[in-house]
Amino acid sequence: MSDVLATLFDLSSTRFNKPREELTPESDLFQALAIDSFQAMELLTEIEEKFGIEVPDYEIQDIRTFQALAEVIQRRL
Amino acid sequence: MVHADNYPCLGALLRDALIQYKSETALIEVNRKNETKRLSYLHTRQEGFRVASHLASLGVEAGTHVAILMTNQSRWPIGAYAAMYRGAVLVPIDYKLQPHEQSALLLHAQPQVLLVEYSQWARLKNETLPKGITLLISEAPENAELPNNATRWEALPVPQQEPTFIERTRDDIACLVYSSGTGGRPKGCMLTHDNYLYQLGRLVDLYPMGIGDRFFSVLPTNHAIDFMVGFIGPLCGGATIVHQRALRPEFLRWTMQEYKVTHMALVPLLLEAFERAIQQRLDELKPLKRKAFNGLSSLNYALTQKRPNHAISKRLLKPIHEAFGGSLKYLFCGGAFVDKNRAEFFYRIGIPVAIGYGLTEVCTVATVNDLHPFRADSVGAPLPGIEVNIINPNPEGIGEVTIRGRTVMKGYLNEPELTAESIRDGWLHTGDLGWIDASGHLHLVGRSKNMIVTAGGKNIYPEDIELSFEGTPVSDFSVFSSSYIWPDTPLEEEKLVAVVRFDPEKEALAWQDLLKRNKALPDFKRVAEVLPWPQEFPRTASLKVKRQVLASQLRDKAKRQTLRPLA
């Protein structure tokens, strides 16, 4: 598992109080974390702070899984 | 004031507003915590002329369709103004749709020009577009390769002379706005200048916005609510529109504080997020402070029960108000069902939520609460000049809501039969169920049509969801809105229910498949529950499921306890 993905799981499980072991790269992040799009945006800001990057909203417009999100972040690092 | 009643068309109204308020700030654009643009009315007018001159050079004239596909930003109103200045019919496209859905709408509307943001164009570029369409692309990176039919917005020259203004009449089409239909069939609502101007006139009488007011535009501007109260409304009153390019909770709060936002329009999902943020703050208060807060909010409620008083509320509940910038006067909420308790919570803390009811087919709203006094139990009374009637009422007075008046659309583009079905003798049949109380306020209780409206304001038709489950190994499969099967379902609880006749030998496999397919759908389109139903589904001669008959059988015999979650 990539470092980015591992960090994503850490952040998500802590923020939304979900067991980390239940999260997989292919998990739908909205469903796995039981969050709405507004909460997903909050998570994104936390991710940006953690990685020291900025991801424009439109880049995650079609993102559904942790894997896809990790790829977007990886491209910005 | 530039009043809508005095103008023949939206283009003329905006043209005069941009001159009348020339030194005021019209548009502010922020990206995260950086202000990236600030345009006066005069500057907005000049920017509009750059686009209008370009549109003129492309042959855009009265009645030409010009589409716009942009996120919330200052170029949305500038582009829309330029199109209206040239007398075009504006076709706002929802940037939140999938590219293939956007393509379907563009092919239906056949615009000659598409005003598009580069990020949106990048999603759309592999889709089929109308033949001969020309693109005006905003914010393309310098090294981006653009197609031959595209022009960069940034490269538009400042015109040497004012472009020619093309006036339209009240009866002409101003916008073609898409409302979601069944079976992927686009429903293009043809809304006239009179529809908009009449509605605008009534709304600004109730909720005036003027110089010094700042409207924060967060709903997509293609949405009927933001188009009216977040674009046309503020500009005709000399107010400022604020756009935030990063629509995230902390930037929303920061923008509200930094720019002392006075008005906002929200869908219920956002209102819920706001309440969550406030509750979080309240939960952090020590018991004594919490008690004091409860006392002050009760006092505020008592003092403002007859009508809102921003000054009193702000003084009593300063910390809460300051978290939102301290200037918030109204929240407009619509697009879906607003929870009564949530609306009351906001009123108690001195932030009135104006609840209305409308459909794209009636421009924006047909009924709205005037806040004199505030009532969270209804969706308000009809706007002046708009008639709302209940047809075929049952003994409790509940029946289908029909609407007649100057805000009802002309019809659906290229769909005379659908139009005739929806508008009969001038009455728009909404498919929503409701009743009217003694004070003339409308109460919604359910739907007579098989659809749900999500808290995000999206209309979802179960028939469309069925397409995603084609080939699932079951004997019969149909998707319903829970409130269509059981009309007593509260609107805030309506959800998609899949009625399934399982093949006993393949039941385990079917569940796996259903779960997998459901997961692949966007969250707002997912089926919430499965209702196993052992009987063969009733079908027509052409083998289509007889939905009404099946729904009626389920209503009589199915037990809600047998519902199983699909997650």
Q: Which residue has the higher pLDDT, B369 or B194?
A: B194
Band of the pLDDT at B541, cuts 50, 70, 90? low
Range list of β-strands (E), B286-417: 330-333, 353-357, 367-368, 381-382, 387-391, 399-404, 411-412
Q: What is the pLDDT of residue B184?
A: 57
CA distance A71 to A67: 6
Band of the pLDDT at B567, cuts 50, 70, 90? confident
Least confident span in B176-185, B428-437, B523-532: B176-185
Q: What is the pLDDT of residue B180?
A: 67
pLDDT digits (tens, 9 = 90+) for B474-520: 989 999 988 888 888 887 788 899 999 998 889 999 999 999 889 88
Contacts of A28 in chain B (CB under 8 A): 519, 523
Beta carbons of A30 and A36 less than 8 angstroms apart:
yes
Tell me if chain A has a CB within 8 Å of the CB of B3.
Answer: no
Of the ranges B74-88, B267-281, B320-334, B526-540, the best mean pLDDT one? B74-88
Q: What is the pLDDT of residue B91?
A: 98
B447 phi/psi in degrees, rounded to 5: -135, 145
Q: How many domains are there within chain A?
A: 1
Q: Are strands B423-424 and B34-40 parallel, antiparallel or unpaired?
A: unpaired
CA distance B21 to chain A (A): 33
CATH of the domain at A60: 1.10.1200.10
Q: Do A58 and B120 touch (CB under 8 A)?
A: yes
Q: What is the radius of gyration, based on Cα positions, of chain A?
A: 11
Tell me if chain B has a CB within 8 Å of the CB of A42.
Answer: yes
Least confident span in A50-64, B43-57, B228-242: A50-64
Q: Do B32 and A54 touch (CB under 8 A)?
A: yes
pLDDT digits (tens, 9 = 90+) for B316-373: 777 777 878 889 888 998 777 788 888 888 888 888 888 889 999 999 899 998 888 8
Q: What is the pLDDT of residue B382?
A: 96
Q: What is the pLDDT of residue B181?
A: 55
pLDDT digits (tens, 9 = 90+) for B132-145: 999 999 999 999 99
For residues B370-391, average pLDDT: 91
Tell me if chain A has a CB within 8 Å of the CB of B36.
Answer: no
Tell me if chain B has a CB within 8 Å of the CB of A44.
Answer: yes
List of domains in chain B: 4-258 (3.40.50.980), 267-447 (3.40.50.12780), 461-565 (3.30.300.30)
Write down the H helix ranges in B243-363: 249-258, 268-283, 287-303, 310-316, 318-323, 340-348
CA distance B320 to B301: 15
Q: What is the pLDDT of residue B432?
A: 87
Tell which B residues from 212 to 251 touch A, by Cβ distance under 8 Å: 245-250
B266 beta partners = B333
Q: What is the pLDDT along chain A (77 residues), one digit of tens a residue?
A: 688 999 999 999 999 888 989 899 998 888 888 887 778 888 888 899 999 998 888 888 888 889 999 999 998 88
And the tokens for B488? 């007593």
Q: Residue B397 corresponds to which amino acid?
A: G
CA distance B215 to B256: 10
CB pairs under 8 A between A and B: 45
pTM surpassing 0.90? no
- The domain in which residue A69 lies consists of 3-76
CA distance B428 to B409: 9
Q: What is the pLDDT of residue B271?
A: 86
